[in-house]
A and B are shown apart, each in its own frame.
Chain A
Amino acid sequence: MAPTLIQLLERHHTQSWGWSLACCDWQHALAEDALQEAYLRVLDGRARFGGRSSEKTWFFGVIKHVAAEQRRKHARQGLLQVFYRHRAANEPAVEAAPDLELDQSSQALRQALMELPARQREILHLVFYSDLSLAEAATAAGISVGSARTHYHRGKQRLQQLLDEQP
């Protein structure tokens, strides 16, 4: 029996969460909102699977799209807050994930990934973290396979270099 939509989302949930975190620069609140919105768009039919890729690749593309919207919205709100100087001291601001939960290796990797260009970071994350092929990663990132391959190779070298430089 073919898995239902909910079952598909459940199957990829943890990797979707990781991808959402990466798309939101590891800001938990933003990542949660992005993932929630992505689920909502899939369930209410605003995002439809066209069958041109795997469900996982397609859903990662949805997350990336939603996360980009969330980041833009958050950036606009941040600019307004700075401009009007209305940011209250006790206002819940979007914060990065609590680093205490991560081991040193993971913290180092996050830090190094943040120093990479966005495309390189995306492709490396999709390939290494989510086990996508380069073609799937290219689809999820919305770029050509050739471009993804270039980002992959350059990003891999740079990431290794950054990790080696860290104490």
Chain B
Amino acid sequence: MSPAHDKHDMDTGNPVLAAHFARLRESEQLTAPAITRRLAVTETAAVRQWRLPSLPRAAAATAIAATVLVLLWQPAAEDPATIYLSILDQQSWSSDALLDVSEALLPALAPEPDFYQIDINFDLDSYAN
């Protein structure tokens, strides 16, 4: 008779039934699948299941780290004179581009561009013919 009956059941169980169940337990224990094999399979599946949900977590962590790096990283300030001269070297440039360079930072050696005025006289009569 099991202690469970003594503690919790005033009827103190049933020896005949207990014997039946004991025999059933003994018989079924013989058919029990091996615990090591089952747990090995289960653990493998558990690890696989653990890894799959962790993928989005890893991706999120990578994305956060990348965002932080981008925010922290600032490109080195370019020399204003270099910017200014590179603009002047261009084949065409607009005055708006020059606004990118602070006037106070302009190097003294870099002359402001001259203004060229080109007078074009059209001989309208030659076109009329």
Number of interface residues of A (CB under 8 A): 44
Interface of B: prevailing SS: helix
Q: Mark B53-73, 1 if CB is under 8 A from A, else 0.
A: 000000000000000000000
Q: Tell me which residues across on chain A come within 8 A of B33, comparing CB atoms.
A: 17, 32, 35
- A28 near B31: Cβ-Cβ < 8 Å: yes
Query: Given A97-B31, A128-B18, do A152 and B39 touch, yes or no (CB 8 Å)?
Result: no
Interface of A: prevailing SS: helix
Q: State which of B18, B27, B35 has its C-beta within 8 Å of the C-beta of A106.
A: B27
B30 interface residue per 8 A CB criterion? yes
B29 interface residue per 8 A CB criterion? yes
- B27 near A13: Cβ-Cβ < 8 Å: no
A119 interface residue per 8 A CB criterion? no
Those of A28-67 within 8 Å (CB) of chain B:
28, 32, 35-36, 39-40, 43-44
- A17 near B28: Cβ-Cβ < 8 Å: yes
- A163 near B31: Cβ-Cβ < 8 Å: no
Q: What is the CA–CA distance of A37 and B8 in the complex, to the nearest angstrom?
A: 31
- B interface list, Cβ under 8 A from A: 2-5, 7-9, 11, 13-14, 16-18, 20-21, 23-25, 27-33, 35, 38-39, 41-43, 45-46, 49-50
